[in-house]
Amino acid sequence: MPVLTLTLRAVTLIIKFALTLSLAKNLSESDFGFYGLITAVLIYSVSLLGLEYYTFAIRESLSNKKDLQGWVIKNHLLIIIITHLFCAPLGIYLIFTSQLSSYIKIILLPLLFLEHLNTEISRLLPALSHQFAANFMLFVRQVPWALVFIFLSKENESIRTLEFIFMGWAMSSLISAILGEILIKNYNLAGWEKKIDLIYIRSGFSTVLIY
């Protein structure tokens, strides 16, 4: 399994590099610049919205017995939803006052949420001793739509658009998130029925802010 995990990771990185070359070759300079800018904004936004709470959640998942791991994840999911709802008005304003097409404007906020959710799940799975599952999620998230673009963009001009790229990215992220949910449910973690504890969440933030 470690060899398979490393192979999957290597394939993902190679395809990602090939995608960058293909994008540079087949997109216009302005579209390629927009793609790089939006990608960077999404990456930094996920980091900011996460508030580094995952460090606390992972430590709790490792230290708690299996009967509380589902509860830890449940509290973490609530934080993800709250932070996105809280920041949504600012995100909507920034996106809809930009020069992006209407189609991309509609996709970006759901894509940001899916990327954040996938990132947190991918961080959690190795802590639960499921490294291969985390890498498989990354593969599903980044490789299928990239391969479609790499092999079809030469012949099909309609694919050489930001709309196709971000829609493909969003669809792959959605599939990855659904896969992550299925994987976590199949691990039979207990504690899901336990009520969300806001005092526990606040203590988590206090711990994160200290570091």
**Tens-binned pLDDT, residue by residue, of the chain (211 aa):** 678 888 889 999 999 999 999 999 999 888 899 899 999 989 899 888 877 777 777 777 766 656 778 888 888 888 888 889 988 888 888 888 887 788 888 889 999 999 999 998 888 888 778 888 999 999 999 999 999 999 988 888 888 889 899 999 999 999 999 999 898 888 877 777 888 878 877 777 777 666 5
SS3 60: helix
For 11-31, b/e burial (b = at least 16 CB within 10 A) is ebeebeeebeebbeebbeeee
- Provide the Cα torsion 195, 200, 205, 208; round to 10°: -120
Scanning the chain, the segments in alpha helix (DSSP H) are 2-26, 29-50, 53-63, 66-96, 102-127, 131-152, 162-186, 198-210
What tokens appear for 199 in the block?
């005092």
CA–CA separation, 15 vs 26, rounded Å? 16
CA–CA separation, 124 vs 126, rounded Å? 6
The pTM of the whole model exceeds 0.85: yes
